[in-house]
Amino acid sequence: MAPRTSHHPAKRERGVALFVVIVFVMLSMLLALWAARTALFNELVVGNDADYQRAFEAAQALLQDAELDIRGEKADGSVCTPPSPDPSGGKICRFTTVQFPLEAKDIGPLLGGLSSVAPITKCQDGVCAKRADKQDFWNNHDAAKGPTLEQMTPVTGTPVGARYGQYTGATNTTAGGPLNPILVDTSAADRGGWYWIEVLPYDESSKNSGLVPDSPPNLLPLNLTPNVVYRITALAYGRKPSTLVVLQQTYAQQKLKD
């Protein structure tokens, strides 16, 4: 009699392990894609912020250069003197360009000349009459609404804005390279930086109007000669096309007393 043998039915393979592996691979790919996109986004944010900071520093340098331009001084506090030979043709120290008023009688002819010579921009050689319309010209591209950014930054013809060092002789280069690479580039209107100085005269009677109190006695009284305050607008472009920094400040040149 032959021995009895038992037969077990074959187990069916369901492929569960393969499905689990595929799920983990897809999750790993999604995680890697998320990490890559996060790294790219952070790089863009850091790059934009760094470009903005460089342009901000350039605009600050333009504000300081404009103050020196108003005072007619060099960065070390000495009187501005043109180099010899003078490649600017007398623009440095403003020997042959529009000059800032030194006395009250100079204010009217200066503002009248700016308005007649440049009726749209009211600016020449970086010196401007007060702009009543469209103060933020850097946001304007419609000439019907006032001066546009293109009109305020021409690279040919009569100068409207001022470049860094154009009227002060300040240098931006050293043996190790430029101090600020943004200010070096003046190849086009939308490169580098510009500044404009508005001459804002005050009525002589304002000196006795009590706008600036003389008390307590430790405060420095306002002593302007002539009675003018300047509004400086500095604009600097970054290396990226979308980066633009605009700074404004009001500057009052105090006359020192003996």
The ranges of the chain with pLDDT < 50 are none
pLDDT, position 54: 92
pLDDT, position 230: 95
pLDDT, position 207: 62
Whether 13 is in a domain gets the answer: no
Structure tokens of 168? 């002060």
pLDDT, position 258: 55
Whether 213 is in a domain gets the answer: yes
Q: Which helix (H) or strand (E) holds 49?
A: helix 16-71
With contact defined as beta carbons under 8 Å apart, do 199 and 107 qualify? yes
pLDDT, position 111: 94
Whether 169 is in a domain gets the answer: yes
Which positions ≥6 away from 82 have C-beta within 8 Å?
88, 90, 92, 93, 95, 169
pLDDT, position 212: 59
pLDDT, position 1: 55
> What's the predicted TM-score (pTM) here?
0.79
Return the exposure string of 208-223: e unless at least 16 CB atoms fall within 10 Å of the residue's CB, then b: eeeeeeeeeeeeeebe
pLDDT, position 166: 93
Strands 177-178 and 244-251: unpaired
Q: How many CB atoms lie within 10 A of CB 153?
A: 22
Whether 2 is in a domain gets the answer: no
Whether 23 is in a domain gets the answer: no
Whether 166 is in a domain gets the answer: yes
How many domains does the chain divide into? 1
Domain encompassing residue 162 = 44-251
Whether 16 is in a domain gets the answer: no
Whether 27 is in a domain gets the answer: no
Structure tokens of 172? 């931006």
Residue 1 CA, chain-centre distance (Å), reads: 106
